[in-house]
Amino acid sequence: MMAGTSVAVVGGGLGGLAAACVAASRGHDVTLYDKNAWIGGKAAVLHEGGFRFDMGPTILTVPRVLERIFAESGRSVHDYMDLRRLDPQWRCFFDDGSRIDLMENVATMAAEMDRFAPGQGAGEGYRRFLALSEHLHGVSEKFFFWKPVQDLFDTIDIRANLNPGTLRDVLSLRMHASVAGTIRGKVRDARLAQMLDHFVQYVGSSPYGAPAVLCAIAHMQTADGVWYPMGGTRAVAEGLMKLAGDLGATLKADSEVEGVAIENGAVKGVRVGGAVVPYDRVISNMDAVRTYRELVGGEVGRTYEKRNFEPACSGVVLYLGLNKRYDHLAHHDFVFSRDPEEEFDAIYRKGEPAPDPTAYLAAPSSTDPSVAPEGGEALYVLVHTPYLRPHHDWSQMLPAYRQKILDKLKRTAGMPDIEERIVVERHLTPADIHSRYKVLNGAIYGLASHGRIMGAFKPGNRSREVRGLYLAGGAAHPGPGMPMVMMSGWIAADALDRDASGTAEDLKAAS
């Protein structure tokens, strides 16, 4: 490695923290900047009235990503955080009053699906779906994960890999098919298909527009489990912060990076407080499109913005402190819409809040009693909405939509007295998310994964436009969701390290 390589990480979300840890583990001199008063990005925490709420992501899957990040420095993630496996993974409430739990064990789940929808072969269909999902996961591990990818040319060396095995893998990605179509080809019951659709909600996209390769998420969750870090998702950010500090990285909150200093197409530093602080390389954990538009700027920024990336969905989050918990809720719950096509059409095509939305609930007190006063609940409610449109004024829209959400919980989730139980209430709207996290148009999950062929691709982790610039986070490869965001940080730091040491197999992307 080149001696004295200095690295600035812009943004202290989970992707930026992962990048800082890996770069520091490899011996680089790392400084992380975040504009907010806290480090951790969306993995923030709200304390009020004796309740503790995770403000952002709440479902942790694929813990081996965290394990690999900590292993870079010979450490164990389990020395930094207490992870608890959850089963059932979700509890599902449907509009017709039926319920089913998503269980980790495939045989148990298949048998339960046959009981739930008798005579339809649902269990066998689920097994066939998971077999396909496992295959797609394997192909993703081979071609997409743990490497800086922007398009097909980054995944496959045509001259070296154009062989029958590779061709079979590429064809098996089912580039002609959507997630929804693939699921319904295996599982005919509309309710069970709706449940399986929601794996793709981890990436904030419509199952009707997302490519079938994203069905791989189902196997990733089934094989690796759903986990809860005691103390909430904030414990993941704090564990990464401690690791970064142990490795000598400097973390600076309340320090907004105003731009990336560039000379002759290469990074020279970052602008902070009106002055340029020199760095050899920069990793941006800010939204990829906003990185080019606001930090890089100039002709490069204008050209990049013309690519017309589609933001993923946004959301309304209600943080409800309840004086009495609901014993029939699991840790994670989905309260499904009456009609998924109507719901996704409203959000992703019409760009309007769904008339009858799906609500995701996190009710963590059964796992972690410290989140609420005794007998209470720190209830997290997330409803996906369109990304911000010019005519959306959420200061005016929120009251009516809040009531629509609460009415949905009363009607479908068995919570008729929820308003009487609320003693603490706070919220985030798409407008709040846009300003708080510097994401594109309030999108929670970065960029949408729509398009049968290119929907799985995001902006690459090694910039092709600026030498020495790298991208991490939900709007960079491999995309959103906690494990993928942290993997993006690992990839960005690994690409940086390879470039710094001159060991990258293909440096043309950085030249």
115 lies in some domain: yes
Q: What is the pLDDT of residues 288-326, one digit of tens each?
A: 989 999 999 988 888 887 777 888 899 999 999 999 999
Q: Is the model's pLDDT at 117 over the cut of 50?
A: yes
Q: Is the model's pLDDT at 454 over the cut of 50?
A: no
137 lies in some domain: yes
Task: Tell me the β-bridge partners of 426.
Answer: 319
Q: How many CA atoms lie within 13 A of 229 on its CB side?
A: 26
Q: Are residues 369 and 412 in the same domain?
A: yes
Share of the chain above pLDDT 70, in %: 91
Q: Are residues 352 and 426 in the same domain?
A: yes
298 lies in some domain: yes
Among 385, 414, 442, the domain-final residue is 442
In the prediction, which pLDDT does 29 show?
A: 97
Q: Are residues 436 and 317 in the same domain?
A: yes
Q: Are residues 60 and 182 in the same domain?
A: no
94 lies in some domain: no
286 lies in some domain: yes
Q: Are residues 212 and 242 in the same domain?
A: no
Angle at 482 between CA 7 and CA 172, to 5 degrees: 105
Among 387, 408, 442, the domain-final residue is 442
Q: What mean pLDDT, rounded, does the chain reach?
A: 91
Q: Are residues 315 and 299 in the same domain?
A: no
**Amino acid at the residue 209:** G
Q: What is the pLDDT of residues 127-140, one digit of tens each?
A: 999 999 999 999 88
Number of domains in the chain: 3
Q: Are residues 131 and 157 in the same domain?
A: yes
The C-alpha atoms of residue 136 and residue 142 are separated, in whole angstroms, by 10
Which residues make Cβ contacts (< 8 Å) with residue 78, sequence separation at least 6? none
Q: How many CA atoms lie within 13 A of 266 on its CB side?
A: 8
98 lies in some domain: no
Please state, as a whole number, how many other Cβ atoms lie within 10 Å of the Cβ of residue 176: 11
CATH number at residue 493: 3.50.50.60
Q: Are residues 317 and 422 in the same domain?
A: yes
448 lies in some domain: no
Q: Are residues 154 and 40 in the same domain?
A: no
pTM of the shown model: 0.91
Please measure the distance between the N-terminal and C-terminal CA atoms of the chain and give it in whole angstroms: 19
Mean local confidence (pLDDT), 4-19: 94
Q: Are residues 76 and 46 in the same domain?
A: yes
91 lies in some domain: no
Q: Are residues 54 and 121 in the same domain?
A: no
Among 222, 250, 284, the domain-final residue is 222
Q: Are residues 486 and 380 in the same domain?
A: no
Domain span at 120 = 104-222
The C-alpha atoms of residue 157 and residue 303 are separated, in whole angstroms, by 27
Q: What is the pLDDT of residues 400-424, one digit of tens each?
A: 999 999 999 999 999 999 999 999 9
The C-alpha atoms of residue 394 and residue 303 are separated, in whole angstroms, by 31
Confidence bin at 238 (pLDDT 50/70/90): very high
